[in-house]
Amino acid sequence: MARRNSKDEQPQNQSNTIKDPEDWTTGEEPMTGAQESYLHTLATEAGEEVEPGLTKAEASKRIDELRQKTGRTDTAGR
């Protein structure tokens, strides 16, 4: 029986390079322009407001929330 390495055991939509935004070393920096743009796009689709002054980590979490709400499954802007 062949032994599977940990990479093979990872779900296909996840990577061992994906970190929780809470663990990002740059998570407290202001959100990037790409995050802000994508966040505004998602918020418009969801009929919600974008909170000003989000950090990179906060923006990432908000993007995830709005992607769930809008049904988007792409990863653009992240």
Q: Give me the DSSP letters along 10-27.
A: S-TT--TT---GGG-TTT
Q: Is the pLDDT reported for residue 42 higher than 50?
A: yes
Whether residue 62 is contained in a domain is answered as yes
pLDDT digits (tens, 9 = 90+) for 5-38: 544 454 555 555 677 777 777 778 999 999 999 9
What is the span of the domain harbouring residue 47?
28-73
Whether residue 38 is contained in a domain is answered as yes
Whether residue 5 is contained in a domain is answered as no
Whether residue 57 is contained in a domain is answered as yes
The number of distinct structural domains making up the chain is 1
**Rounded CA gap, 11 and 32, in Å?**
28
* Helix (H/G/I), strand (E/B), else coil: 52: coil
